[in-house]
Amino acid sequence: MRVIALRTIKAFIESRPEHAEVREPALAWYRQVLRADWESPAELKHEIRTASILKDGRAVFNVAGNKYRIVVWINYPYRVVYVRFIGTHSQYDKINAQSI
């Protein structure tokens, strides 16, 4: 898969010192997604059981022991993952993952 935008993840990590703990788990997630080749939400869920599948190509990943969430939109035919949001669990609770 191709991941757009690593920059979003790095900007979040660098935005506040307390987010430094998510650096390695988020980059490990990034590397795992780069190696993936998901044709469908079912394949994604089979590989990453903790992922939540939403409507219209959206998915939510738990990282760093479920302390952080990454929301993505996936274009399965083109194998592209667009990072739409990364934040703490409490920040995630304040957004609409389906529309962000």
Whole-model pTM: value is 0.95
For the residues of the chain, what is the DSSP string, one character each? -EEE-HHHHHHHHHH-GGGGGGHHHHHHHHHHHHH---SSHHHHHHH-TT-EE-STTEEEEEETTTTEEEEEEEETTTTEEEEEEEEEHHHHHTS-TTT-
Print pLDDT tens along the chain (100 aa). 999 999 999 999 999 999 999 999 999 999 999 999 999 999 999 999 999 999 999 999 999 999 999 999 999 999 999 999 999 999 999 999 999 9
